Every structure is written in structure tokens, then in C-alpha cells.
Amino acid sequence: MAREGSDGAGKPDRKVVARNRKAWHKYVILESQEAGIVLTGPEVKSLREGKASIAESYGRVKNREVFLLNMDVPPYGPAAYVGHEPKRERKLLLHRSEIEKLSGRLEQKGTTLVPLSLYFKDGRAKVELALARTAHRHDRREAEREKSDRRAMRRAKER
């Protein structure tokens, strides 16, 4: 688990549990925002151990509520008798206005809701959600070209 430290300017520590690195390659990120996530006790313990995967997960708006589907949180060992379904649907906590804005943007063709990272902020589990659209081949090529251009400029400065 990586830890993004405080810079002394009042920004809280973030203990990153999981990142969705594939999202940056598969999608063009339009905008992102933070959301709380509803979890059970053993799920929180499992996350604190760094056991979670958001690589295949995605968000949905149902009945004016946002849910994260397919996020994998394996059972916490000492609480195995309680148990939980590892890939259950988990409710996300957003303000009503944010949900309405998201649902309006999700109605556009080709947009989806993907989690970018899962972390603890001030002791609470949070997920960074991104409104994204599928990256087509030409988008990926353009991104790769920009990356190589930045690399070349950085090398030129070093000389």
C-alpha cells in the first residue's frame, strides 16, 4: 500500500489500497470526483490489509443512487465466520446534485463510470470515480505520441 503524505498544508494522508492502472489506458478520463463507500466491518478490515481489486469494477446509477459493481474485497480471515460476498454491489455516497450531474453525463453514448483508486482518507474509505469514455485506437496512439514527445523534451533539457 502506497501512502501519499501530508505536505503540511492541511492536506490529509491518503493510504491507497488499490489503483486501476488499466483505466488510464482503456479510457479517456473526462472528469473525476471522490465518493464515500458503504462497507461492512470485515470489509474495512480486509481493505486495511490492502486486499482489494478494482480493476474490473464499474459504476452504475440505479434509482437515483450510485453503486460500484464487481469490486473484489476478499474475506477478512479472523472474521471468516461472518463472511461477505467478495464482489457484491456497494453503494457510493455522493450528494444528490452530484448524482444527478453524473446520471445526465452517463446518458451520453460511450460514457461510463470507472473507479481510479480506492483509499483511506481521514480513516474513511473513499473511491476516486472517473467519468470516462472508451479510448479508441487513434486516442491511444495520440496519447503514446504525446508521451514520447514529453520524454524527448525532457531528454533534450538534460543535455
Is 36 inside a domain boundary? Answer: yes
Q: Long-range pairs for 104-108 at CB < 8 Å and ≥24 separation?
A: 105/30, 105/131, 106/61, 106/131
pLDDT of 62 above 80:
yes
How many domains does the chain divide into? 1
Sign of CA dihedral 43, 81, 79, 1: negative
pLDDT digit string, tens, across residues 46-60: 888 888 899 999 999
- Residue 86: DSSP 8-state: T
Is 93 inside a domain boundary? Answer: yes
Neighbours of 74 (CB within 10 A): 15
Task: State if pTM tops 0.85.
Answer: no
pLDDT of 5 above 80:
no
Per the model's pLDDT, the better-predicted residue between 64 and 24 turns out to be 64
Is 9 inside a domain boundary? Answer: no
Q: CB of 7 within 8 A of CB of 16? A: no
The kind and range of the H/E element at 70 are none
Range of 144's domain?
14-158
The Cα 14–Cα 144 span in angstroms is 29
pLDDT digit string, tens, across residues 102-159: 988 888 888 899 999 999 999 899 999 999 988 777 777 877 888 889 999 988 988 7
The pLDDT score that the predictor gives to residue 2 is 52
Is 4 inside a domain boundary? Answer: no
Is 6 inside a domain boundary? Answer: no
Is 39 inside a domain boundary? Answer: yes
Which CATH number do you get for residue 101? 2.40.280.10
The Cα 60–Cα 111 span in angstroms is 11
The pLDDT score that the predictor gives to residue 40 is 86
Task: Report, in this order, helix, strand and coil percent for the chain, each rounded to 5.
Answer: 30, 35, 35
pLDDT digit string, tens, across residues 9-49: 445 578 899 999 888 888 888 999 999 999 988 888 888 88
Neighbours of 14 (CB within 10 A): 18
Is 8 inside a domain boundary? Answer: no
Is 40 inside a domain boundary? Answer: yes
The pLDDT score that the predictor gives to residue 140 is 72
